[in-house]
Amino acid sequence: MYILGIESSCDETAAAIVEDGKHLISNVISTSVKEQALYGGVVPEIASRRHAEYISATVQQALQDANMAIADVDAVAVTFAPGLIGAVLVGVNFAKGLAYGAGKPLVPVHHLRGHIAANYLTHPQLEPPSQLEPPFLCLVASGGHSHIVQVEDWCKYHVLGRTVDDAAGEAFDKVARTLGLPYPGGPSVSQAAKTGDPHYYKLPTPHVEGKYNVSFSGLKTAVVNEVHNAQQRGEEVRVADMAASFQERIAQILAKKLLAAAADTNAKTICLAGGVAANGRLRQLVNDGAQKLGAKVYLPELKYCGDNGAMIAAQGYYEFKDGNIADLTLNGLPTLAIDYR
């Protein structure tokens, strides 16, 4: 079964064809990230306008790369929530028109479920025991969300913990901005951290209610204060050392909470998902910790960590099989729980 996946919830306009929820056929991403970088973050209206400009060509290219026409796909899957609403609506309305015109089923996909499905694309082996399939425990960390989720079945989730304030990616972006590093902050902080001392700055581990909840607002503020204090004293901020110290602290917090949840729930399989899953230090800490627990780790390939259409097509396959098919009244939503039914 071939699914066309369309994604437009943030600053990537993306389309892909995936076979049976696992096998990538084509994958096209157009992005307004360079333009967004001029402003130090995503300007929603710019994102929406670029989606409107890019979406037809992006979808056409995905079909062309797959050597397919729209008649050859079995369903059109689209991110309908959560995300920047003006951006989401571009993809939703395009997918509606396309599905209606071609007489194909329209499958609504939750963006974070899509991030989790990026792992199925990375580990498509057909035979157990190497095949990745639910149940497993997953940390989903993106620019807008940080969740620790039990993936109980392909379309069934139980949230164990979440951020009580900022998302992990948001904290990376804010810290990058404070340090004068370019947007998006995750890659630029990681790059700067390579030459820094992760123990130079003593940054706090915020206390938070809820055993598997996380909080990054205090950590972010600690970096901002440290930088401002240094500036007021006329001292130079040690950018690489601060980047490394921040990355170390946030990766430690995320890994510790995920591994505690894994130990308590006796998870046999652990996954990472979302843009922050590209972070090398986080991947290393989770790998090492899981080994000690005797749990298997599946990490998404770097090209599937950020927003893409393939992850939407992959999850779209399982949503379709689960009977999750929308009619033409489908709306976009800025927020929606991952375990919505």
Binding site for Zn ion (CB under 5 A): 142, 307
Contact of 204 with 252, CB cutoff 8 Å? no
Q: Nearest-CA neighbor of 227 among 180, 165, 167?
A: 180
| C-alpha to C-alpha distance for 74 and 325, rounded to whole angstroms | 12
335 phi, psi to nearest 5 deg: -135, 150
Kindly give the residue spans of alpha helices, DSSP state H, lying in 150-295: 168-178, 185-193, 217-232, 239-265, 280-293
Tell me the window of 56-64, 119-127, 273-281, 320-328 that interacts with ligand KG4 (CB under 6 A).
Answer: 273-281
310 phi, psi to nearest 5 deg: -65, -40
Which three-class secondary structure state does DSSP give residue 308? Answer: coil
Nearer to Zn ion (CB atom), residue 142 or residue 190: 142
Counting contacts by CB under 6 A, is residue 91 touching ligand KG4?
no
Quote the least distance from Cβ 43 to Zn ion, whole Å.
17
The entry of Zn ion, ligand KG4, none that residue 7 binds, CB within 5 to 8 Å by partner kind: none
| C-alpha to C-alpha distance for 326 and 96, rounded to whole angstroms | 9
Counting contacts by CB under 6 A, is residue 146 touching ligand KG4?
no
Over the window 10 to 49, marking each residue x when it contacts ligand KG4 by CB under 6 A and - when it does not, the resulting string is: x---------------------------------------
| C-alpha to C-alpha distance for 75 and 321, rounded to whole angstroms | 11
Binders of ligand KG4 in range 163-182 (CB under 6 A) = 169-170, 172-173
Counting contacts by CB under 6 A, is residue 185 touching ligand KG4?
yes
Interface with ligand KG4 (CB under 6 A), residue from 36, 119, 142, 163: 142
The entry of ligand KG4, Zn ion, none that residue 86 binds, CB within 5 to 8 Å by partner kind: none
Quote the least distance from Cβ 294 to ligand KG4, whole Å.
27
Nearer to ligand KG4 (CB atom), residue 124 or residue 186: 186
Nearer to Zn ion (CB atom), residue 82 or residue 206: 82
| C-alpha to C-alpha distance for 177 and 106, rounded to whole angstroms | 39
Angle between helices 239-265 and 217-232 (to 10 degrees): 160
Could you list the residues that contact ligand KG4 (CB under 6 A)? 10, 115, 142-144, 169-170, 172-173, 184-187, 190, 274-276, 278-279, 306-307
